[in-house]
Structure 1
Amino acid sequence: MATAEIASERESAYLSQLTMAAARYANRTQQRERNQSVLATRGVLYADTPDRVQKRLARIGADWAMARAIEQTPTVPAAGAGSTLLLPPEEFTSEVLGLERLIGRNNLTPIAFLEEGAQVSRSVGRITVSGPGGGHGTGFMVSPSLLLTNNHVLRGPEPASRATVAFAFQDRVDGGPLVPAVFALEPHRFFVTDRALDYSLVAVAPRGTQGEALSSFGRLVLSEAQGKVIIGEFVNIVQHPRGEPKQIALRDNQVVDLLERFLHYVCDTREGSSGSPVFNDQWEVVALHHSAVPQTDAEGRPLSVDGTVWRPETGEHRLAWRANEGVRISRVLQALHGVTLTGEAARLRDEVFTTGLGPSSAEGAPPPVPDGAPAGPPGSEGAAAVQASHQVPQGAPAAAVRAADGTIQVTVPLRITVSTAPQPAPAPTPAMTAPTPVTTPAAAPHPAGRADIVSAVEKDVEAALSSHRLARERPYYDRTADAAARDAYYADVRTGDGDALRRALTALLARTHAPQPRYKPMNLLYPWVDLHEDRRLRSIYSGKGFSAEELIRADAAVAEARLARVQELLLQESTAGPAEFEEEFAALEAAMPFNCEHVVPQSWFARKEPMRGDLHHLFACEPGCNSYRGNLPFFDFVHFEESQRDDCGMREDVGFEPEDGKGAVARATLYFLLRYPGRVGDVATEFPEERLPVLLQWHEREAVTEYERHRNAAVAEIQGNRNPLIDHPEWAREIDFSGVWP
């Protein structure tokens, strides 16, 4: 093919990328404007979906309770702290600073942020394609051997064979240039590309032209885990614009939209930046930068800076930019999973998914295992390899699934994957190309140990204690603000018809229940929601008092013990199926319960979310009272001497009557009946319809307290919905509850 034809083909491909990016951007105008409006009026926690925001908070070690506490603290800098929070400097953890930074309360960050940025930038290099259709781009190491860049930078093995990558092509501190290390690309050893997702993955020679070791430049560990970035957050891009020495677009680059496969963000990149890694503030790769979004005319044609229609021969520097677009890194990894590879190429591909050099150090710790993604290359048949992640909330229910590849994935407070069979080759993907490799045995992943469990639990404890410290500085209950919130919440609800009222409330409670936090009492219930006016916790059944830190640390010890036992079960019984493991885990939870009570027992709704984590029916309760009540329905004993009694209350086979908190548990149960109609009463041992008068009597005998009003407002801050029986006690007799039973 002639040189002019090659150049024309490359220009045509680039123009196609620009046109498609512009079309995607234009098609999302209405959604993007909504996002920007929400960002301007409410902030970054509300522009994206509640589920993604919740996962983002979990990833930085925070939660909704902490986020709301920070949002509501005065914006006056604390003396000597350099922050907007009225806390002494020693109270600031990385979670508090990271959350403040995320929601825009300040731009403080540890100095290590810059050190980590310098470290990860070592893995980024300038790509130079020589010969016909040549030019520059950016790429970065994602395994010990493989470099990731754009398809339009390296369209196939042939141009890749004419390309090199230069690391350390940058200026020194004194302004002089460093001596770059130049490495040849080796597409004959590995090359995979996908034009639709605009990525190419290629092998790099292990030694540079001057004998430099490729391993000295490290790698960026990629993750499919959700929660790495949300709309409104700022990202960082390390790049070689126009083939110039390495540069960085730091933080002033806001994500304005998140599509199924792409991110749109406003930042300063230029030609040559194609193939750059897009980082969040934790220096995790969130996207592969691949195209600017140009300004276009009415026909969708890119425009030059002078307003005329742009042509490739005009030069990229003449394009009028509107935004930038990156391919979500999770989508690149998902596509890479689907490429059919064998032997050496399969081993090289699998190294992308194994842990290795982390973003924080040259010998970094392994990153979390992504939800629903392979932990890495499988070991030999029958070997049990355990990998742990901090991303699944502590206290989440167990859910075991045996995958087609022979692994069992169990969702517990950590995600643990046990390999019991080799992984078969995935189905082929026509859009991708790959070489014919030779067979090489795969390396087994390193198992995670007890240290991973301790680290995960300690992180939860730190986040919970930070939330509690913030809570101590907040007003306990703002009656005026809550009254306004209550009136606005029920503004469209009409009374006068009991059945219509019940239906309206059920619809309202479900519609406004966002986000839907998973069961995590250590981080959500104890630090703020369930506090009494003296800022202590009290058992809902016995009235016994506890400090928040006491229950946080007690539940942490239980969580650590549970996880250690789960790990043992998986290693010892890796052939067990999901049903067997679920039974084992249920027994484990019963033997080691948290200091938390579901007033509607978990067995009544099969321990499923969102019921399990719904804060409106969760209360602090010591394990003794929790076990004493069991899953018995509430009952009002007339003859006390005929029932068993202790500090928790009275019980017989027919039911349980608490010693304390009858009004609160009645209103919580009535809420549950409204929010989840049909979930209770489908078996004889659950709360039968004829017991409804018991709840109504307890509700009327014990008036709503300041503690319950505080709880209601606190829960509404976290999960969006309210308890109508607390806000409008008079509705209890008007609501027709008959429709809530199956």
Structure 2
Amino acid sequence: MTTAELFSPTEPDYLSQLTSAAARYADRTERRERNREVLRTRGVLHADEPERVEKRLARLGADWSLATAIEREPSDPVAAAGSTLRLPPESFGSDVLGLERLIGRNNLTPVAFLEEGALVSRSVGRVTINGPGGGHGTGFMVSPSLLLTNNHVLRSQEEARRSVVAFSLQAGIDGRPLTPAVFQLEPHRFFVTDRELDFSLVAVAERGARGEALASFGRLTLSEAQGTVVVGEFVNIIQHPRGEPKQLALRENQIVDILDRFTHYESDTREGSSGSPVFNDQWEVVALHHSAVPKTDAEGPPLSVDGVPWTPDMGDDRLAWKANEGVRISRVLRALREITLTGAAARLRDEVFVPGTTAAGPAPAPVESAPPPAAPAPSGNGASARPGPDGSRAFVADGTAHLTIPLRISVGLDPSVFPVASVTAPPPGPVPPAPPPAMRPDTVSAAERDVEAALVNHRVALERPYYDRPADTAAREAYYAGVATDDGDTLRRALTELLTRTHNPRPRYKPMRLVYPWVDLHRDGRLRSIYSGNDFSAEEFIRADAAVEAARTARIQELFLHEGTAGPAEFEAEFDALEASMPFNCEHVVPQSWFLKKEPMRGDLHHLFACEVGCNSFRGNFPYFDFPHFDEAVRDACGLREDVGFEPQEGKGTVARATLYFLLRYPKQVGDTAREFPEDRLPLLLSWHASEPVTEYELHRNAAIAELQGNRNPLIDHPEWAEKIDFSGVWP
């Protein structure tokens, strides 16, 4: 089979397509206006779904903490490197500049942005349909053989048969036109079209009319990965408007809404631009431009520029439009996967899902997604997935090692890899990084990016006021407005609902990026272990955790290479053993094993604290306990542990309030066994809370966490509520 077509029973013409686009746009008016208001008042980090924003930041090598730190920093137009941040030039890598660009702080970008744009533009050509009903559109190569455009540009195999695509139809740097390379389309080899999603995919001849090689124009790698664009971001469109020489709508094109299958943006495109690629600032294709959103009358038909109903015989140039609509590229790929093809056609289709190179240049960022199940899945660093026992598969994508067995476990890939340490209890103090062996350049780059982003965040944090009491007081009063305190059970339920509803976004567990740079700092800019009170610099813990994570990843890679007979249970046990033997310098006051390491509990910043690995491992998952003669039996600087529990040397009031928060935020999640803090130990938490008042350090933490994940700890904001809340409903 060489062709396929997906269509609805009634073939839509161009007029009905415009009407549908206008209807979708009208249906989203309320949401779009809300997006615009949030963009105006709060910025791009807050207008889209939190999960999509987090994934977008991750693709930029950043996280919510770094992004909000940059967003909050006062502008300084004369700062180093042209940035608005008051930091030394060596602090400004692509992460920082990319984030400032994303949130609209400045328009700086590396010169390579233009160079890469010139490279990707070579894969974009003008499609010309000859004969009856002819015209022009835009298309772009998405594999070595296949060109993507709109269905309304190439509606059928017959129409494609009499069409050509011309590359290099543009002016050169001297202003003189280049000689275009014209290629015949070959729908007899491959033609797939989807009328509802408005795309057509067609084969192109290997040689042009003058003998040019199609391969010299490269292709654009498409990705199904999430996080390629968010509401409020600016996009770039390479196009042939009205069939004219190639042009670029650069960055003044803002995404105003993202639907399930389409996206709306405001940009300068014209007729003939149908089929153009829509790019983010990393030159990843995020959408297939397919329609203007026309102005309409009260009944729905499009209007002309003269204000009268528009008809196709008037021509596209007479259409009055107010926005543009593109088809999300992930939805195009999803539809393409679902089409049943065989033989040569299936092989050509599968090439779309394999990362490739742009013309005369290096490969663009590889895709996360795997091709249809036959070939090994490409990884985020270009490596193939390794099939394992029981259908398991492993690959590395976006700096994360993934294991599918069929469950999926993820371990962050951060800095350089070094040999795995022996499985023994770690000594007190942060784990020092060991010298790395030879490794892949992309691994080193990912490591440096992650550590440096955390260090930039820390430098920005040190320039901020440590705790703004008036601002935090106002924020606290607004947060709890309307919470009734008369009845203990009602108060508990209201707080649980409030903490859950406002927990947005919900960051993943990443202490080196989210805990050490700002959240857990004391006024002197340093970290103190929650159990021992020992003093550390943020950089110590950042680099130590990065080294630990790299060691874990090295061991995982060894498993994939040398332990092919291991099954899912063995892999899962190995992951648990790795975390136990090589812990981070971060303590969950509610142990991870109590909630099976699930998110959002695992990454909830309210119960994460800096803690050197010796104390972290010594406490383990023992519940808190009060020993009657604690002063006579202190274990080093951490505390005392016996079979009945663990009593810390320091931080009792702080950990009590963090645990009480957890019980309110996640009722009935812990406490069903004696080792999971049963209800009869509630008086212990209340006693520690009452005996050690809230400190400025906790007030700072609470305010910092509220900025990052939206919710607050009621026991810090209103210590008096501890005696009012009826906690009986939080246990299973």
Q: TM-score, normalised by structure 2?
A: 0.91
> 1:63, CA displacement in angstroms?
1.5
- Report the CA distance shift for 1:201/1:574 in structure 2 as closer, same or farther (over 3 A): farther
Distance 2:385 2:220 in 1: 29
- Report the CA distance shift for 1:245/1:358 in structure 2 as closer, same or farther (over 3 A): closer
- The AA in structure 1 aligned to 2:609 is F
Query: Which residue in 2 is equivalent to 1:229?
Result: 229
Query: Which residue in 1 is equivalent to 2:723?
Result: 733
- The AA in structure 2 aligned to 1:171 is A
Distance 2:412 2:101 in 1: 27
1:601-620 residue pairs with structure 2 within 5 A? 601-620=591-610
- Report the CA distance shift for 1:248/1:382 in structure 2 as closer, same or farther (over 3 A): closer
User: 8 Å contact 1:509–1:721 — kept in the other structure?
Assistant: yes
- The AA in structure 2 aligned to 1:33 is E
Query: Which residue in 1 is equivalent to 2:703?
Result: 713
> Among 397, 412, 421, which residue is 1:389 paired with?
397
Distance 2:88 2:183 in 1: 50
Distance 2:567 2:321 in 1: 54
1:472-511 residue pairs with structure 2 within 5 A? 472-511=462-501
Q: Establish whether residue 114 from structure 1 lines up as the match of residue 104 from structure 2.
A: no
> Among 536, 543, 547, which residue is 1:553 paired with?
543
Query: Which residue in 2 is equivalent to 1:700?
Result: 690
Query: Which residue in 1 is equivalent to 2:428?
Result: none
> 1:697, CA displacement in angstroms?
1.2
- The AA in structure 1 aligned to 2:560 is L
Cα distance per residue 1:679-721 (max 9 Å; x no partner): 1111222101111111111111111111111111110000000
Gaps of 5+ in 2: 1-9, 378-383, 415-438
Query: Which residue in 2 is equivalent to 1:3?
Result: none
Cα distance per residue 1:351-374 (max 9 Å; x no partner): 111122169x7122651414x876
Secondary structure in 1 aligned to 2:397? Answer: coil
Query: Which residue in 2 is equivalent to 1:425?
Result: none
- The AA in structure 1 aligned to 2:368 is V
Query: Which residue in 2 is equivalent to 1:124?
Result: 124
Distance 1:375 1:477 in 2: 53
1:177-576 residue pairs with structure 2 within 5 A? 177-357=177-357, 362-364=361-363, 367-370=366-369, 377-378=375-376, 387-390=395-398, 392=400, 400-402=404-406, 410-413=409-412, 450-574=440-564, 576=566
Cα distance per residue 1:63-120 (max 9 Å; x no partner): 2211221222112323453222222333212111111111111111112111111111
- Report the CA distance shift for 1:637/1:12 in structure 2 as closer, same or farther (over 3 A): closer
- RMSD across aligned positions (CA): 2.2
Query: Which residue in 1 is equivalent to 2:174?
Result: 174
- The AA in structure 1 aligned to 2:411 is V
User: 8 Å contact 1:149–1:200 — kept in the other structure?
Assistant: yes
> 1:626, CA displacement in angstroms?
0.9
Distance 2:512 2:127 in 1: 49
- Report the CA distance shift for 1:716/1:334 in structure 2 as closer, same or farther (over 3 A): same
- The AA in structure 1 aligned to 2:491 is L
Distance 2:458 2:673 in 1: 40
> 1:619, CA displacement in angstroms?
0.7
> 1:316, CA displacement in angstroms?
0.3
Distance 2:539 2:372 in 1: 37
Distance 1:452 1:251 in 2: 29
User: 8 Å contact 2:386–2:395 — kept in the other structure?
Assistant: no
Q: Establish whether residue 668 from structure 1 lines up as the match of residue 668 from structure 2.
A: no
Identity fraction in percent: 72
Query: Which residue in 2 is equivalent to 1:441?
Result: none
Distance 1:504 1:272 in 2: 56
Q: TM-score, normalised by structure 1?
A: 0.89
> 1:498, CA displacement in angstroms?
1.1
User: 8 Å contact 1:502–1:735 — kept in the other structure?
Assistant: yes
Distance 2:152 2:273 in 1: 12
- The AA in structure 1 aligned to 2:78 is A
- Report the CA distance shift for 1:309/1:478 in structure 2 as closer, same or farther (over 3 A): same
Secondary structure in 2 aligned to 1:387? Answer: strand
> 1:123, CA displacement in angstroms?
0.8
Query: Which residue in 1 is equivalent to 2:380?
Result: none
User: 8 Å contact 2:529–2:612 — kept in the other structure?
Assistant: yes
> 1:17, CA displacement in angstroms?
1.2
- Report the CA distance shift for 1:554/1:328 in structure 2 as closer, same or farther (over 3 A): same
Distance 1:553 1:128 in 2: 56
User: 8 Å contact 1:517–1:610 — kept in the other structure?
Assistant: yes
Greater Cα offset, 604-613 or 140-149: 140-149
Cα distance per residue 1:384-408 (max 9 Å; x no partner): 685321165x9xxx77442xxxxx7
Distance 1:571 1:601 in 2: 32
Cα distance per residue 1:495-520 (max 9 Å; x no partner): 12111111111110000000000101
- The AA in structure 1 aligned to 2:375 is P
Cα distance per residue 1:437-488 (max 9 Å; x no partner): xxxxxxxxxxxx8544443333221221121121111111111111110110
Distance 2:129 2:617 in 1: 69
Gaps of 5+ in 1: 1-9, 403-407, 416-448
Query: Which residue in 2 is equivalent to 1:437?
Result: none
- Report the CA distance shift for 1:579/1:16 in structure 2 as closer, same or farther (over 3 A): farther
User: 8 Å contact 1:368–1:391 — kept in the other structure?
Assistant: no
